[in-house]
Every structure is written in C-alpha cells, then in structure tokens.
Structure 1
Amino acid sequence: MHPPVAPFLSTVLAAGFLISGSAWAQTSAQFESQQRQKYEYSTFSAMSAPVVLPMDGKADWLTGLDVSLAGKIFPHMHLDTAFGTASTEQEELRAGHHDPEERDAVTFQNIEFSLSGRLDEYNEFFITYAAAVTGGRIDPIFEEVFWKFKNLPGGFEVRGGRVYNRFGIQNTYHPHGFDWIDQYLVNTRILGEDSMTTIGAEITWLAPLPWTSQFDVALGVAPQAEDDHGHEHEEEGEARYAAEEAFFGEDEFMLVANWTNVYNYNDFNQFRGGISGAWADNVSGYRTSIYGVHAEYQWRENGFDPGGRYFRVRSEAMFNRYKVEDELVEGRNPETQQDFGAYLSLLYGLPNNLELGLRGEYVAGNADTAQDSRFRVSPGITWYANDARTLRFRLQYNYDNSNERGTDHAVWAQVSFAWGGPEVR
C-alpha cells in the first residue's frame, strides 16, 4: 500500500514554515562564524553554492544547528522523498540507488542518521547510517564510517575507514547534498549506482600554494557489494560482455587518486577544476581503469556577505576501459571495452531562496555490453524554506532519450528535510 501523499506533504509543509520562521534571522551571525573559520569550508562540502555554514554557537533545536553533545559530537538527520510520474515504467529509467523508484507513488529516497565528531584540532570522525525504501523493504547500510586526522605537519590529512572516494565532485555527496532529484547518468554508468567507496586509508596533501591545491590518494579494498538494493538493472539481452562485471570486485585492492584546485579570483568569483583516476580488478578478474575531469565556476553577487544572487556551472566527464569475461565465446581473450559520459549543470539562485537549474547529460553506451546511448535534459526549480536550507522543495522534469527505448518523459516533485549542521568531510 502506498502512503497517502496529501497528508504527508501537508505535514512537511507545516513543519517547514515553522522551521523557516525560526532560522530566518540567523544569516548574519552564521556568515560571521564562517568568516572567522570556526568551521572550515571543505573543498568537498555537499553544498549547492558557497552559502553560510550554519554554526554560530547557539543550539537551535528546531533546525538542529549547533546542537551537540559537549560541543564535540553533532547529530544529523535527513529525509528525502519524491513523488511523480513517467511515460514508462520507472524501473526502466531509474539508474541510481536513491533515484525515484515508482511512478504515481511516494518514494522514500533516503533516510539517514549521522554523527560528526569534532574532538579537537587534530581529530574528527563521521558515521552515517542510511537506507532507501525499495520494493516495500528498507535496505540500511553504514555508507561512511571514518576517522580523520587533520592539521598534520606538512599540510597532510588522513581519513581511515569506509569513505566515499574523492573522485571528481559528485561522488563525495550523499543524497541530501544532490542538486537534482536523481543521480547523474555518468556516475551510475561508470562508478556504480552508489558512490564509489573504499575501505582503507586516504591521504590528503594541501600544497603550499596561494590557492587551494589538494591531492588525495586512497588505498584500500572495494566493499562487499550490496544485494543490488532492490534495483532492477537493464536487460542485457544477447550482450557479448556483461557490463555489470566491469565494476570493481569486492575485496579487490583499489587505488583512487584525485587532484582538485580551488581558486578565488576575488570575493565574488571562484574557479574549481581537477582530474581523477581509479584502478582495480573487476568482478571478472580483469582490470578496470576509470579517468575523470571536473570543472566548476561560481559567482556570488555579495561575495562572502549574506544574501544576493549566485550562479554556478559545474561539469564532469568520465571515461573507462576494462575487460570482462566473453559471454558468447568461451576460452577467447576478451576485447577491451570502454564507455564515456559527461554532464553539465547550471544553477541560478535568487535572493528569495529560489534556485533555477538546467542539466544536460550524455552517456555513449556500448553495443558489445548492451549499454544504451542515453541523453537527458532536466530543467528544475528548488525553493529553500529557510536560509539554513534545512527544508527544500524541488520540482524537476526529465526529457530522456535512449537509442533502445526512444524518448521518455518524467516529472518529479521532491521534499527534503534536514536536521543538524554541516558534516565532517
């Protein structure tokens, strides 16, 4: 039985306006806190634009901002829900674990509980336990569990545990940090329906340069694959090679490298760009290599002061090369396969907490692995109920064209609720 939509949305709306009124007047103090760098803005913070980190030292129990245990441990809670319809069965269009699952029904995309520990100037930790409700069942998992040693000599940091790899930009984000209701096609096609993850150690070095130049190297193993999270993959038909076997095999040694540069031309214009790579043996026992490039430009009308308009353009492109078992010709050395994809995302923010967006995506596909060539364009609009962005409402349309299915259309509405401040990243 599907949950009733109208009562659910009414309850969330009422809570949103209550929270909005509580947090509306906090903007100035929050920006001053950010400027004092009480909580450092991370290169990989899951934020749509360089908005305030909402920490001013006073606990707000309605929004969860600055609520903590002894000023050391900060809890977070997130709920992301979607409702909409599509011109075909949603299972054929869905690509990511947290994408809307069914048309004409509410999807609980993400239910997440997290703890951020800020113990001292050298030690931090992060734990997040999350689930998507799929097929009437909940599939929970500890998505990230890591300890972070920071401010080490020579500009080094170390994260140890289970981490979302710093590969490009989007891979580091949990669903509550997404700019769109569904995951990018290139991320799901090349990195997997969840974020690419390593269990091991990640070393970060901040180069002594006038701008932020960050190098990340992760060494570890791929985690055990979940039971597809209830997600039905596309039919492969008479594919010569099984595309699913190109993903990194569980317990296989992984090497992931990332180089990201952030340059503030002035208070109003910021540039970000870099390259990434990942290497490991895949499910078939052969090698999969992934390469990526990412770039971003952000403009804020008021610079580091509160309010004003903003504009952000972000893009990532990825390319992979791999061998997998030949499904049709036994005993033959398999040929090297490859795929390519990219996205371009534009966001324009208005002073009234409205955000307009446009996204274009493309994945090339591969006939030997029965992966379709797919092109998707998505205009969207988001309204944040308060400046702290603890409640948002998002509407999105997808024009989806595939060389296998033809053209499809989908319309989705999303309600997202967050409780708590910025997470340790």
Structure 2
Amino acid sequence: MQKTALAAAMTAAFLAPATSVAATDPEIAELKAMLRTMKQDYEQRIQALERRLAKAERATSAAQESAQPMNDAASKPMTAPSVSPPVASTPSPTTGGFGALTSGSAFNPQISVILDGNYYHDGIDGAGAALVGQAFQPSGGHAHAHEGEMDAEHSHGAMQNGFNFSEAEIAFSATVDPYFDAAAYLAVTNAGDVYLEEAWMQTRNLPQGLRVKAGKFLSDFGYINRQHPHQWDFVDQNLPYLNLLGDHGLQDTGIQLTWLPALPVYTLFGVEALQGDQELFGTTLDEVEQIELDLGDTYDGPRLWTAFAKVAPDLGQNHALQVGVSYAHNNQHQEVQTHAHEGEDEVHENGFAGDASLWGVDLVYRYYGAGPQGQGDFKFQTEYLRSIKDLDVRSSPHGELIGSNQTFTTDGLYAQAIYGVAPKWALGLRYDVLGLTNEVSGDRDESYGSSDRWTVDLTWSLSEFSQLRAQYARNDILVAENEREHFDAFYLQFIVSLGSHGAHSF
C-alpha cells in the first residue's frame, strides 16, 4: 500500500510541470505573435523613414544642382572640382565629407594606418636633410618643441644616412550624426611617441553654402599646406614651406568658416581664427627668455588670422584648374638673433618682437589622360609665398639699437609637374627656391642670396594601397652669409595604407 502511494506521488510530481507548461502554451503563443507584430511594425517604420530621407536627399541635391550647375564643385564644398572617376567615398552635397547618411553603418568610423619609411643618402654624412629646412634667411624665427615632446622627434625632414621610418599615421573619420562630420589623425614616430596632427569636427548642412570647422587642423592657406606627407608627390616638402612655415606648415587650433556661393563658377571663400602657436611664423619664446630679453608676455589667442579664396573654372571633361590666393597675419612674433664680433668669443643676443604677415598664390592644373591606370595623366602645381615680419629691437648689448625697427622679407616658390609615363608609373620634376627676395629693410639694410634645388622622382603605384618611390635632388643651400652647401641626395620611399581611407581632395 505504501509503495503504491509513493509511486502515485512521484507520478504526480513529474506530471505537474508538464501540466503547468501546457497550461501556459496559449500565453507563449500570444507573446510570440505580439513580438512578430511589433518587429514588423518597426521594420516598416524604419523603411518608411529611410524612403523619406532618400527622397529629401534627392530633392535637396536636385535643388542645389539647378542653382549651381557644377555638380563636382558642389560635391566637394571644401575643395576644387575633380573630373576623376567617381569614388564611393566622394562626399555628397547633402552630407558633407563622408558619404550619404542612409544607414547605421554611416556612423561607423573609417580607420586606416599609413606607413611611411625610406632609405636616404646624401654626400655630407646625412646632414643634408636638416640643412634644406635651415636655409639662411635674416629672420629665421625660433622654432620650439611641441608640448611634451621634442620637435625633432616628429620632423618629416629628420633623416640620417641609411634607413628611416618617418611615421605611422592613424586616421579616424566618420559621420557623427546628421549635423557633424569629424576626423582625428595621429602620428606615431620612430621612437614610439604619439603626436596629434588633427582632430576636428565640421558641420554638414548649414544653409547658403556655409560650413564651420573647429578643433585642431591644417589650415586651408595655400594648396599643399592641408596635405599630409603621404599625399605629397615628392618624398619631402618644398623649400618655401619648410623654411617659412616650419615642418608642420600652418597647423593650429581654432575655427574655420567657409562659404561656397551659388555661382556658375566654383568659388570658395574662407576665414580662420587660430590660436597662433607656430614653429616659425608668429612664434613666441618661453617665459624665461621673454623676461631676459624684455619681450613681454605671450598674447591671449586667437593671434593668427587667415583668409583665402579659391576659384575653379570649368575647362571641360578631362581638364581641371584651381587658382587660389591666401593671406595670414600673426599678431605676435618673437625671436632672438645671435651674433659675435670678429676676434671675440662672446655671443651677443638681440631680442625682437612685432608681428608677421604672409601672402600666398597657388595654381594647380590637371589633365586626365585616356590611358589605363594613370597613363597620360598630367598635373602641374606651383605656389609663391612671401613672408614679411615687422619687428622692433627690444633688447641688445648695443644700446643704440634698442627701439629700432627692422622689416624682414623673404619669399620663395616651387613649381612641379607629374606625368603618367606608363600604367601605374609617374615621373615628377620639381624646382624650388627660397630667397628671391631675402633682405632686411628699415633701420637696417642688408640683402642676401637664395637657396634652390632640382628634384626628380619616379613613383610606382602598385595599387591604391601601396606605393614605391625613387627620388634624386641636387641641392644648392645658403647656410650662412657667403657660405653654401652643394650636395646630392637620394631617397627610396615606401608608403603602405592599411584599412579604409577616404578619397583625397583635388
């Protein structure tokens, strides 16, 4: 009897859960039905929103095209139009620089790593790479280190005879939301130091062709200034940029406003307000030197102001031309100049303070040939820079000089041409000169000579992600008054890109 009761109890215990589950089957079915309904409803809503967004984008694009016939110009509101074949990453007029915002994937950043290394040799024990950035001018500025690092650790021209690794650039770019694009560029040096090259945000849909950029960025002054080293057509930077602006060019923290009016001809106007922390153009000394040389404190920013205009007329299907003018003014420039008198060992220091101005004119022409993979393509670009520093002598061992005014004027230009001699192969020729005008005027009148060089290179673009380059340069560099260095320099460079990288501008 007890065994029968125990068996009955155990059977009831096992059947109880099954009975409970069976009792809830209708509830489970109802929940599943509700879930399917909600999922279908939200999918339909998302599809409807995407259709509305696509329709709005098409309508906006059509309106802009009718107001401004130059499609390519509108598609690149920060650059001149390009007649190259369309690229998937080419910006659209309604979304800015990183493509259409039609799915969640548009918010994922593009990430790339660009490796830049070379073999270098010159005839003066490896000193030539530094000399080209130290060509003599009466006002050489006073380059300073970036906060937390020695400037020499991140100098694109800091090479020695033998193998060199210039940098690894890590780039992030993305559409943040319907209102902003953003990008950040980090440079990792051979020593492992990390340097922030750019980090900025930029508006997407302001009215009337307006656009605002804020953060740390390369100025749109001139043409080549905004390009990163891997975008250059030669291994190294040209003489005017190296010696008048420094190794990094005009690169600063601030804000930029551009305006692309609805005109028959692509015309872009822009102004920038920047902090003014520069290597050579508008540099300031450290606090100890400012006190010792009676130069005064560093002004509050912004101290550097720029303005530029770029025009690109329509030349037809296979031609593109952009002409630009630029101006920059730094409210404060300080430097110290040293000298020694003949027969004396003592070094004398003169402290100078004032302001600095820079003018620039640039022209770029492209022809897109009919050959495969760049064969027959031709590119010519040239820029002229003129630096004027209006400085007063604030301190000097020679009391009669204190208070005198001196104007330092140095200019320079480069001209280069690139031709696609075969599929994936391009031949380049460059001439650059510093010091066509290289003088001091005002209370002191002196004039000096110029530095120049000829450069030829051959570039093999194996693919869109790898590039090999051989370069030879014949240098004639003025290193001091009446003292020159003549030397040859040879480079072998590799550039490799890993990951997704946006299309380069015109």
TM, length-normalised to structure 1? 0.74
User: 2:203, 2:329 → 1: CA distance?
Assistant: 25
**Residues 20-419 of structure 1 aligned to structure 2 (within 5 Å):** 40-41=75-76, 44=79, 50=84, 53=87, 55=89, 70-72=105-107, 73-88=109-124, 89-95=127-133, 98-120=155-177, 122-133=179-190, 137-223=191-277, 251=301, 253-284=303-334, 285-302=353-370, 308-324=375-391, 326=393, 329=398, 330-364=401-435, 366=438, 373-386=450-463, 389-403=464-478, 404-419=483-498
User: 1:293, 1:102 → 2: CA distance?
Assistant: 30
User: 2:411, 2:299 → 1: CA distance?
Assistant: 21
Cα gap change, 1:149 to 1:341, in 2 (>3 Å) = same
Deviation at 1:189, TM superposition (A): 1.6
Q: Does the aligned pair in 1 maintain the 2:360–2:383 contact within 8 Å?
A: yes
The secondary structure found in structure 2 opposite 1:315 is strand
Deviation at 1:123, TM superposition (A): 1.6
Cα gap change, 1:359 to 1:375, in 2 (>3 Å) = same
Residue identity matched to 2:270? D
The secondary structure found in structure 1 opposite 2:225 is helix
1:115-168 Cα deviation digits (max 9, x unpaired): 1012355420011111433xxx34422111111002311110100111110011
User: 1:249, 1:80 → 2: CA distance?
Assistant: 37
Deviation at 1:55, TM superposition (A): 4.2
The residue aligned with 2:343 is: none
Rg bigger for which structure?
Answer: 2
User: 1:334, 1:308 → 2: CA distance?
Assistant: 55
Deviation at 1:176, TM superposition (A): 1.2
User: 1:99, 1:40 → 2: CA distance?
Assistant: 32
Deviation at 1:102, TM superposition (A): 3.2
Deviation at 1:92, TM superposition (A): 4.0
User: 2:470, 2:104 → 1: CA distance?
Assistant: 36
Cα gap change, 1:270 to 1:408, in 2 (>3 Å) = same
User: 1:82, 1:371 → 2: CA distance?
Assistant: 34
Deviation at 1:71, TM superposition (A): 2.9
Cα gap change, 1:44 to 1:180, in 2 (>3 Å) = farther
TM, length-normalised to structure 2? 0.63
Cα gap change, 1:90 to 1:124, in 2 (>3 Å) = same
Deviation at 1:91, TM superposition (A): 4.9
1:320-354 Cα deviation digits (max 9, x unpaired): 11034546645132311110000001001245110
Residue identity matched to 1:375? D
Deviation at 1:366, TM superposition (A): 3.6
- CA-atom RMSD in angstroms: 3.6
Q: Does the aligned pair in 1 maintain the 2:373–2:424 contact within 8 Å?
A: no
The residue aligned with 2:151 is: none
How many residues end up aligned between the 2 structures?
Answer: 355
Q: Does the aligned pair in 2 maintain the 1:372–1:402 contact within 8 Å?
A: no
Q: Does the aligned pair in 1 maintain the 2:273–2:302 contact within 8 Å?
A: no
Which runs of no fewer than 5 residues in structure 2 stay unpaired? 1-69, 91-102, 135-153, 281-292, 335-352, 441-445
1:264-310 Cα deviation digits (max 9, x unpaired): 3111111110100000133324110000000011111249x975521
Deviation at 1:206, TM superposition (A): 0.3
1:40-69 Cα deviation digits (max 9, x unpaired): 446549x9x94653549xxxxxxxxxxx99
Cα gap change, 1:413 to 1:50, in 2 (>3 Å) = farther
Q: Does the aligned pair in 2 maintain the 1:145–1:161 contact within 8 Å?
A: yes
Q: Does the aligned pair in 2 maintain the 1:54–1:421 contact within 8 Å?
A: no
User: 1:314, 1:44 → 2: CA distance?
Assistant: 15
User: 2:450, 2:241 → 1: CA distance?
Assistant: 14
Which region of structure 1 is more displaced relative to structure 2, 159-168 or 257-266?
257-266
Which runs of no fewer than 5 residues in structure 1 stay unpaired? 1-34, 57-67, 227-241
Q: Does the aligned pair in 2 maintain the 1:198–1:218 contact within 8 Å?
A: no
